[in-house]
A and B are shown apart, each in its own frame.
Chain A
């Protein structure tokens, strides 16, 4: 069955970096793009952007163009989200979701990231 399994929770200090993984199984990884979504504590869903799993080309929403990097390890069917120079406002749960037919048909379980000094 199709699954997106994300890495575990992270506790980081401001200014540090982190890299979250999203491992896909049950389908051909390069057939579908991968989306990323942020959810701050107690808040709604915020679209971060997506990555083309065939070409590796990322597309970022405006709020995520500066310190955020989408990448792939195609041989491992894994997508990554890296956040550099972490800020307190990056505290959130980050979801990956498959851009299938239809979009957002499968979601990862989410990674809770806490940024605190």
Chain B
């Protein structure tokens, strides 16, 4: 199975600060159809996960544009440009290129 390694495991930020989370894959996530099925999700405390970004860099409908995703092959990054209080929670990367789908261990974003 594909292993996704997220760093850092915990991130402390002040409101308005820009932060980045890294997700590294044990193998290339470029699919034979040309797409790269790497998504980012946020799970706020006590809530279900929600999709933020799909296929590396596409913002899901309704997600603020302070979130952005980048990367290719095995190295991916989620950036939050100006953290807001509602952004606190655990961020997961996940891949759906290689069966079975797998999730990273998560990065907890907390207030400094």
Report if B76 contacts A (CB, 8 A).
no
For chain B, the count of residues having a C-beta within 8 Å of the partner chain is 25
- The answer, among B48, B60, B90, B92, for a CB contact under 8 Å with A105, is B60
Residue of chain A at shortest CB distance from B50: A107
The answer to whether B100 touches A102, judged by C-beta atoms less than 8 angstroms apart, is no
**B interface residues, Cβ below 8 angstroms from A:** 1, 37, 39, 41, 43, 48-51, 54-55, 58, 60, 90, 92, 94, 96, 99-106
The answer to whether A47 touches B102, judged by C-beta atoms less than 8 angstroms apart, is yes
Report if A45 contacts B (CB, 8 A).
yes
**A interface residues, Cβ below 8 angstroms from B:** 35, 37, 44-47, 49, 59, 61-62, 95, 97, 102-105, 107-110
A102 and B48 CA atoms in complex are apart in Å by 17
The answer to whether A44 touches B94, judged by C-beta atoms less than 8 angstroms apart, is no
- The answer, among A35, A62, A104, for a CB contact under 8 Å with B39, is A104
The answer to whether A102 touches B60, judged by C-beta atoms less than 8 angstroms apart, is yes
A45 and B37 CA atoms in complex are apart in Å by 17
Q: Please name all residues of chain A whose beta carbon is closer than 8 Å to the beta carbon of B101 when the two chains form the complex.
A: 35, 47, 103
